[in-house]
A = this chain, B = another copy of it.
């Protein structure tokens, strides 16, 4: 199958690398809004202007759109679904139904197949929530994120006056995770589940106390959390905080038996050196799934909840039954 990348940032580079790990795929091109001559790909795959993509239609079975969720994907995914089978990683949870509707309308009309919100949350964490809740109804599902870099929170800190650079880590509270793992089904406030750690490079002479105060009281981002702020040098930032690690856990416990005598705990956990590279790996196997599903005549928009695990795999159903079941 032939895939192409639309948008060449961290995620696009991750897809390029992930494609090289999958022998059943050929990456035929990278499409960018920048000047192609200014873009050098990691593996030497050709770079084209975004507006020329229709000329390459025959070389693209599935197009992986690697734009941002805030402004790129709401426009790009529906527009490109008119001509391509498309994959995206739209991750603004609250706006997924709206994005789904727009992409579904476009893909259904053009007879293409689309899959949105691929990644780990939304994505594999969502898949696990649905499995867990279907197996054991009743009870509560808990999601913990981290320890990892939240790019949205890092950006928010960078916008504060006097801040040169910032990195924000979301850290799950170990005691809360333990209580959930033990099947206690605790009531946990936002503050009890995660803490936030900010590493900040301040301008020379900046009012550090004011920066710290601005961070800790920032509505939506920090005010409901216990936040620790560390001021560091730019050198320390580059040396210790240039990676984008992340991870987390989805945990659910539930009861079975006539009188709920038995308790069971299910957990899915991820420990990731690179958030964008892991997300890219998921985008690539989702591209395979919709390629297979498109060949079976499925059209319109899907999410990972609508995809059977076997469709993500390069192995045949027979091979999977013999080796993985």
Q: Point out residues on A near B: beta carbons under 8 Å.
A: 14, 17-18, 20-22, 42-43, 93, 96-97, 100, 117, 122, 124, 126-131, 133-138, 181, 254, 256-258, 261-274, 277-278, 280-282, 285, 288, 303-310, 312-314, 317-318, 320-322, 324-325
Contact = CB atoms under 8 A, between A and B. Distances in A.
A321 B131 contact: no
Contacts of A122: 325
B305 A308 contact: yes
Given A256-B14, A277-B257, A314 B134 contact: yes
Number of copies: 2
A277 B262 contact: yes
B312 A130 contact: yes
Contacts of A181: 271
B258 A137 contact: no
A305 B325 CA distance: 8
22 contacts: A21-B136, A43-B258, A96-B321, A97-B318, A97-B322, A124-B131, A128-B268, A133-B313, A134-B309, A134-B313, A135-B278, A135-B281, A257-B274, A262-B274, A262-B278, A264-B270, A264-B271, A264-B272, A264-B281, A269-B269, A305-B309, A305-B317
Given A134-B285, A134-B313, A321 B129 contact: no
A134 B278 contact: no
A14 B277 CA distance: 42
B322 A96 contact: yes
Contacts of A271: 181, 264-265
Given A18-B256, A100-B321, A325-B96, A309 B278 contact: no
A128 B135 CA distance: 15
A288 B130 CA distance: 14
Contact of A285 (B97, B135, B258, B313): B135
